[in-house]
Structure 1
Amino acid sequence: MVRQLKKQLHKACIGLVILSFSWAVQAESALQSDEQQQYLQELRTLYLTKSDREALLRHANSLLQTHAYRAGYQVGQADAQDLIYQLNSPEKGVLQAREERRQQGRVQVRNSQLAVFGIDPFIEYRCEASKPVCQILSPRDNSVWLTIVRDHAGAAELAKTLSFLIRNLQRG
């Protein structure tokens, strides 16, 4: 009898732990959802659009322009160059990055595509004190995806915006 009571009590405790964990996850999701919705509303208002995707793309491109790694930041370097990015979504589930390198009147352009389905949308970045840049890492393989001038706040804002943009693109 005591043994049965202990088993039932144990099951009840496990049930309460699972239930409280479930409530915590739901509360966290609601909080993140509210934060995300507020952020998206602010961007839609800022860029005068009704589309979350359009607002996120415009904001990401604005941040990339503002924090572009330009030759002016590369004092004393013989091979100083402008490094400028532009993002777009040419088709469903794809984020395209156009990289433009300008050096002594020459321009090199390279396009890369990131298929967003099946990847973790959380964007990471690193800003090393020994380097004048911050690197935005690809969610596909953690390789360097985008390079901007070293600005922790700018890199954090860009990573947040890109994370929300990738989530939006993953929805189709």
Structure 2
Amino acid sequence: MKQILPFSHTLYAKLYSLVLFVLLAYCLFNAIYSVIIGGKSVYLFSGLILIFQTIIVLKATAKKKIYNHIGLIGLILSLVYLNHWAFLFQHESIAILPSVILTLLSLDYFSQQHSRLNLLKATLVFGLFILAYTQYHDLNTLQNYYDSLHTGETWQQYGAL
């Protein structure tokens, strides 16, 4: 079967990379803002690790398996440190899902079959959407907490601002 457009594969790859980096940028900026006003710092660390892992996966390097495994282990250790072994029951642990998927994408077993690769790519985007929604929900919860203080100031004036 002949392709309709000869550049469609590269166009789809660039659009997919753009969607990934827009989602990761949203997660990172949301995490930075949340930390500035007094929110949880685990999202900032997970955002930085996920950006590092995404760059390593998209870049053709020989040691991408090692770097992605280190990123996954670092994310799990930071969650264990912050939540004292109950990290799987916290909603911040949703950041593990994109990290595990990025680690699986670095393995040759999944990258050689297109059906598995496409499934992992779709799951990665879905996992990043869930992470972005969780961060948005936590930021709204923080906003509602600051609104409940009734000091007459806006909620943006709390924290480090």
Q: Same fold (TM over 0.5)?
A: no
TM-score of the superposed pair, with normalisation by structure 1: 0.30
Higher CA-based Rg: 1
Question: Which structure's residues are more often strand, by fraction?
Answer: 1
TM-score of the superposed pair, with normalisation by structure 2: 0.31
Question: Which structure's residues are more often helix, by fraction?
Answer: 2
Q: Which of structures 1 and 2 has the larger relative contact order (alpha carbons within 8 angstroms, sep 6+)?
A: 2
